[in-house]
Amino acid sequence: MKLIALTGGIASGKSTIGRRLAALGAVRIDADQLARDAVALGSKGLARVVERFGSGILDPEGGLDRAALGRIVFGDADALAELNAIVHPEVRRIFTARVAEAEAADPEAAVVYEVPLLVEGGAAAREGVDLVVVADAPVEQRVARLMELRGMSEGDARARIANQASDEERRAIADRIIDTSGSEDETIAQVDRLWADLHGAG
């Protein structure tokens, strides 16, 4: 089994790469989805978050009200650290289980872990990873994508980008860089070459 970490800044084209790798046969795991699963309705993670922060963080259906939780932890480093201490181990547990399922189904599986904050997670986040793939596009292009596709203001887009690791930091940990500044077809062609290389066909 090969574990591929796919990372990149916001609006860098990670999803396009992840979708293509999945279409080619990889098992795709999305870190953002794992974070949602870790505190899903009825989960152990959500029960622990409620135990720590109170039932005021729940919506009328009993699920997590992210806005309410955000108001508590935003700007409170200690509260945020406590939240992360609950959620991160749960994310890791779900991730480990998904990888084990993929390997049990196919010992030769390629698992793609789409994780935006790989650099920010430090060396521990890359533990067990066989290959780091970085989606790379110029900042100005990513700002334009955020404004066009997500309706952000230019200021908000630049702030989101500035709050993440720099392009240089991501390139420094990359084993393979996929340039997403061209057309989608050009990006996909690079992903196809990567897949061929992984399987010794190119």
63 and 130 share one domain:
no
Q: Domain for residue 202, yes or no?
A: no
pLDDT at position 122: 86
Q: In the prediction, which pLDDT does 102 show?
A: 96
* Number of domains the chain contains: 2
Distance of CA 59 to the CA centre of its chain: 25
Distance (Å, rounded) from C-alpha 158 to C-alpha 149?
A: 14
**Are residues 71 and 12 both part of a single domain?**
no
- Host domain of residue 88: 32-106
Name the domain boundary from 65, 86, 106.
106
Asked if the structure places residue 77 within a domain, the reply is: yes
The reported pLDDT for the residue numbered 98 is 95
Question: At 108, which helix (H) or strand (E)?
Answer: none
pLDDT tens readout for residues 47-96? 999 999 999 999 999 999 999 999 999 889 899 999 999 999 999 999 99
SS3 20: helix
What's the CA gap between 115 and 153, in Å, rounded? 25
Residue 151, C-beta contacts closer than 8 angstroms, at least 6 positions apart: none
My answer on whether 80 and 57 are in the same domain is: yes
Same domain, 19 and 116: yes
Q: Is 111 helix (H, G, I), strand (E, B) or coil?
A: strand
At 98, which CATH number?
3.40.50.300
pLDDT of residue 52: 95
Confirm whether 1 is domain-assigned.
yes
CA 19 – CA 11 distance, rounded (Å): 15
pLDDT at position 201, please?
56
pLDDT at 193: 97
Residue segments in the chain with a per-residue pLDDT below the cut of 70: 201-202
Compute the distance between CA of residue 16 and CA of residue 187 in angstroms, rounded to an integer.
8
